[in-house]
Amino acid sequence: MLAIGLLMKEHRLIERMIKLIDKEVQEMKGGKPPDGDFIDTAVDFIKMYADRCHHGKEEDILFRDLGKKNLSPEHKSTMEQLIKGHIWGRETVRKLVDARSRYVQGDQKARDEIIGQLEKLVKFYPPHIEKEDKHFFLPCMDYFTGEEKEAMLKECYDFDQKLIHEKYKAVVEKYEEGG
Ligand SMILES: [Fe+2]
Ligand SMILES: [Fe+2]
């Protein structure tokens, strides 16, 4: 198993969630009121799984180690685009959360913004994932020795292991600080 094998497996679950979000978006466009529980679930999935857990391992382990290598100009530029995509995704989720709270407070106009931000995320993930799966991860493995690949995989497991603790510590702290 390689670290990129783990990351590709995570891509498959992200794709499944994106499909569900797309379905919800189409229904909302057809007039269905926003389903607050679904939006919260989608936000939590994107924030915690797609961003913290998945992009976290890409940035803090794979991209960090690739950054120490003498990358071809093409790979260097792809990696920069991928990182920019992650930053853009975080900003989009922030706007989505903001629109969701305005909607809950009675701002009816926020409904269109919720749809718009969700739709942007639905459009962002498939090409981002395809670029990584088909044009980046595999060729990039050639920069690493067997030992380096093993160390990356181990670090990925350690990273995942800490996440659930990090998540629920943050939940408790949020409410200790008054929500
Ligand atoms: Fe990525
Ligand atoms: Fe990815």
CA–centroid distance, 178 to ligand 1, in Å, is 33
Spacing, Cα 34 to ligand 2 middle (Å):
28
Give the ligand with the smallest distance to the CA of 63. 1
pLDDT at 178 (0 to 100): 83
Ligand nearest to the CA of 54: 2
Question: pLDDT tens-digit profile of 44-88?
Answer: 999 999 999 999 999 999 999 999 999 999 999 999 999 999 999
Task: Provide the percentage of residues in the chain whose pLDDT is more than 70.
Answer: 99
Report if pTM > 0.75: yes
Ligand 1 midpoint to CA 174 (Å) = 28
Quick one: three-class SS letters along the chain? CCHHHHHHHHHHHHHHHHHHHHHHHHHHHCCCCCCHHHHHHHHHHHHHHHHHHHHHHHHHHHHHHHCCCCCCHHHHHHHHHHHHHHHHHHHHHHHHHHHHHHHHCCCCCHHHHHHHHHHHHHHHHHHHHHHHHHHCHHHHHCCCCHHHHHHHHHHHHHHHHHHHHHHHHHHHHHHHCCC
Cα(42) to ligand 2 centroid in Å equals: 17
107: domain CATH number is 1.20.120.520
Ligand in nearest proximity to the CA of 78: 1
Number of structural domains found in the chain: 1
Domain that holds residue 12: 3-176
pLDDT at 21: 98
State mean pLDDT over 130-134.
97
Check whether 179 has a pLDDT greater than 70. Answer: no
C-alpha of residue 58 to centroid of ligand 1, in Å: 6
**pLDDT (tens digit per residue) in 135-169:** 999 999 999 999 999 999 999 999 999 999 999 99
The ligand whose atoms approach the alpha carbon of 8 most closely is 2
